[in-house]
Chain A
Amino acid sequence: ETGVTQTPRHLVMGMTNKKSLKCEQHLGHNAMYWYKQSAKKPLELMFVYNFKEQTENNSVPSRFSPECPNSSHLFLHLHTLQPEDSALYLCASSQAGYPNYGYTFGSGTRLTVV
């Protein structure tokens, strides 16, 4: 399998649930990102990981907790979410130091909080 794979594709969760989104990249990249895409704020940067270290937290509420166990995997742990957190969550990866190749995005997880 190539590219960036995100699971699940769709997720419905209650406000008291705990769930996790998974992202896996097979491109040998060393940087990974979480973006939130909603109608109000398209492609909003949430977290940046370079070489497994978190280098950016774009003022994201603590109910979102990222985890990067290795350079190929990225998780987003969710708990006590609000209905306004419903959105498409996109994972992306890139090769730091090689900007000409841009970011590769996964297909996203469509999250609905009820």
Chain B
Amino acid sequence: QQPVQSPQAVILREGEDAVINCSSSKALYSVHWYRQKHGEAPVFLMILLKGGEQKGHEKISASFNEKKQQSSLYLTASQLSYSGTYFCGTEREGGSQGNLIFGKGTKLSVKP
């Protein structure tokens, strides 16, 4: 079952913040976040595992609410380099190893 991402697209000015949400109707074991720039491969940002946690590096962080089967990606003080499409990928609890299903993506555009 494909996770649902929102919003579909967002436009920011440099320095503004954004939140991207990812929700699933199934119990989750993990949530991955990736960023893909146009014409390039998706790049791994972080993974959050069952147990409910928050992670972050630099100005990009994420949370995982296990009870609600939701994850949010937080981008603070956005930079031009943050532009791209952000995908969440989910692994179901009890699912087979490596069955990572991605959402449709959120296109983020950061303008000067």
Residues in A lying within 8 Å of B, measured CB to CB:
4, 31, 33, 35, 42-45, 48, 50, 55-56, 90, 94, 96, 99-108
A-B contact pairs, 8 of them (CB 8 A): A42-B104, A45-B100, A50-B97, A56-B98, A99-B47, A102-B44, A103-B89, A107-B41
> Are B44 and A101 touching (Cβ within 8 A)?
yes
B32 within 8 A of A: yes
Which one of A90, A103, A107 contacts B32 once the chains associate, using CB atoms below 8 Å? A103
Q: Are B102 and A43 neighbours in the complex by a CB distance under 8 Å? A: yes
Please, how many residues of chain B have a CB less than 8 angstroms from a CB on the other chain?
24
Whether a CB of chain A sits under 8 angstroms from the CB of B9 is no
**Cα A107 to Cα B46 with chains together (Å):** 19
Q: Which of B41, B87, B100, B105 has the most CB of A within 10 A?
A: B41
Q: Which of A42, A43, A96, A103 contacts B97 (CB 8 A)?
A: A96
The reply to whether A43 and B87 contact each other, CB–CB distance below 8 Å, is yes
Residues on A with beta carbons closer than 8 Å to the beta carbon of B104: 42
8 Å CB contact of A100 from B40, B47, B96, B98: B47
Distance from A19 Cβ to chain B, minimum over Cβ atoms (Å): 21
A4-B41, A55-B98, A100-B47 are known; give 4 further A-B pairs, CB within 8 A. A42-B102, A43-B89, A99-B47, A103-B44
**Which 4 residue pairs across A and B have the least CB separation, nearest first?**
A102-B44, A43-B102, A105-B41, A48-B98
CB within 8 Å of A: which B80-104 residues:
85, 87, 89, 96-102, 104
B77 at the A interface (CB under 8 A): no
- Which chain A positions have C-beta within 8 A of B32? 102-103
- With beta carbons under 8 angstroms apart, the residue of A45, A50, A99 that contacts B30 is A99
Closest residue of A by beta carbon distance from B101: A45
Distance to closest chain A CB from B34 (angstroms): 8
A42 to B105, Cβ gap below 8 A?
A: yes
Q: How far is the CA of A69 from the CA of B73 in the complex (A)?
A: 38
Complex Cα distance A101/B102, Å? 17
A residues less than 8 Å from B85 (CB atoms):
42
Q: Does B43 contact A (CB under 8 A)?
A: yes
Instruction: Give the residues in chain B near A94, CB-CB below 8 Å.
Output: 98
Task: Kindly provide the distance from the CB of B111 to the nearest chain A CB, expressed in whole angstroms.
Answer: 23
